[in-house]
Amino acid sequence: DTGVSQNPRHKITKRGQNVTFRCDPISEHNRLYWYRQTLGQGPEFLTYFQNEAQLEKSRLLSDRFSAERPKGSFSTLEIQRTEQGDSAMYLCASSTPGLGGTGELFFGEGSRLTVL
Amino acid sequence: AQSVTQLGSHVSVSEGALVLLRCNYSSSVPPYLFWYVQYPNQGLQLLLKYTSAATLVKGINGFEAEFKKSETSFHLTKPSAHMSDAAEYFCAVRASGSARQLTFGSGTQLTVLP
C-alpha cells in the first residue's frame, strides 16, 4: 500500500498527558499537511510542511501543539498537556510538488484522539 | 481568502433518485475546487476536482459537478443514488497558483433510503 499512513489509529489518554501521532506520506510527495476534524465538521487546517520546512501554522495550533518533519519524510504531531477539547480526529495529507500542481490532497485514515 | 458554504448538513434521497449536494464558494482569485467523500472512521477520498479546464467535471462512482462562475457554485450531482453512496461529502477550495492548504466546508451527510 503506497497511500498515506497514520498511527496510532486510536488513542485514549487522560487529561494532562502528552500524545504523539505519526504520519508517513506518499513517498514522492514533498508537501505534508495536518488537519483536525471534530464531529459534524469539516477538516480544519493546522499546519503544513514543504520538505522539512514548516511553512504555515494555523492559529488553531496552540503552543501545546508541535509538529515536525525532520528529514522531509515522515511527520509527527505532538500534543502536550492534553485537554478534553483536543478530542478529535487528526488527519494527515500529502500532495505532489510544484506550485503548478492542482493541489489535490491525499489523506490518511486519521488518528482519533479521546481525552478523558 | 477562500471559503466554501455547503447548504444542507443532511440530505436524504431514495435509492435510484437524483443526488444534489450544494456548494458555494468565495474566492478572490480563480479557485480550484474539490469534492471529497468520507465513509465512517475513514479518511477523505477525492471524488472530483475542477482546475480551470472543463466546467463540467466527471468523477468517480458516477458523480459529476459543474463549475458556475456566475453563481459561484460547484454543486455535486449523481443521476441515480445507490445505497453505497451513503457517506459524508465535503466541498473544498484552494486558490489557483497557491501552495496553501485546502479550505473545507462543514460537510453534507447523505442518507440513501431503500
Cβ pairs A/B, distance under 8 A: 62
- From B49, B105, B106, residue closest to A102, measured CB to CB: B49
DSSP A99: T
pLDDT digits (tens, 9 = 90+) for B16-60: 999 999 999 988 777 889 999 999 878 899 999 998 778 899 999
Q: Which residues of B touch A104 (CB under 8 A)?
A: 34, 46, 49
Beta carbons of B105 and B5 less than 8 angstroms apart: yes
Q: Residue A59: its pLDDT value, please?
A: 85
The helix (run of H) or strand (run of E) holding residue A77 is: strand A75-79
Q: What is the pLDDT of residues A12-67, one digit of tens each?
A: 999 999 999 999 999 888 899 999 999 888 999 999 999 999 988 888 888 999 99
Residue B85 phi, psi dihedral angles, 5° rounding: -80, -10
Give B43-93 as a DSSP string. Answer: -EEEEEEE-SS-SEEE-GGG-EEEEEGGGTEEEEEESS--GGG-EEEEEEE
What integer is the mean pLDDT of B57-84?
Answer: 95
Better-predicted residue by pLDDT, A102 or A20: A20
Q: What is the pLDDT of residue B3?
A: 87
Cβ distance of A50 and B94 shorter than 8 Å: no
CB contact under 8 A, A104 and B100: no
